[in-house]
Amino acid sequence: MPVELKTQMGIIDVSKDVVATIAGGAAVDCYGIVGMASQKQLKDGLSEILGKENFQRGVVIREEEDEIHIDMYIIVSYGTKISEVAHNVQTKVKYQLEKMLGLVVDSVNIFVQGVRVINP
């Protein structure tokens, strides 16, 4: 089911995959993020880094009573402050979705799936 945006001229339906791709792209641009992890691999105990074409697999869009909630599964870089990285991701995702789609997001929930060392 797509996300509905109501404007003066009518209703715009935006696919959840589009919203997830924009949110994933915004998250990966943040400092301290190694990549996105698939939320479906949680039951297996694996956290695989997703490629650029699979950002939406690490993002879940939920609609509850005209509110939009986003769950993001990320992998952070070793040596960064996880709370700061998570806050930066929340802020950037909300900003990008509002700027690009005019979509007001009520919450961005961050689930850190792992910490990786980046080789220089």
pLDDT at 49: 54
Instruction: Give the angle subtended at the CA of 22 by the CAs of 16 and 26, to the nearest 5°.
Output: 145
pLDDT tens digits, one per residue of 43-91: 544 445 545 556 677 899 998 888 899 999 998 999 999 999 999 999 9
What mean pLDDT do residues 12-27 have? 89
Instruction: Check residue 31 and report its DSSP letter.
Output: T
Q: Could you tell me which residue, 120 or 112, shows the higher pLDDT? A: 112
Q: How far apart are CA 115 and CA 34, in angstroms?
A: 8
Complete domains list, the chain, with CATH: 3-116 (3.30.70.1350)
Q: How confident is the model at residue 41 (pLDDT cuts 50, 70, 90)?
A: low
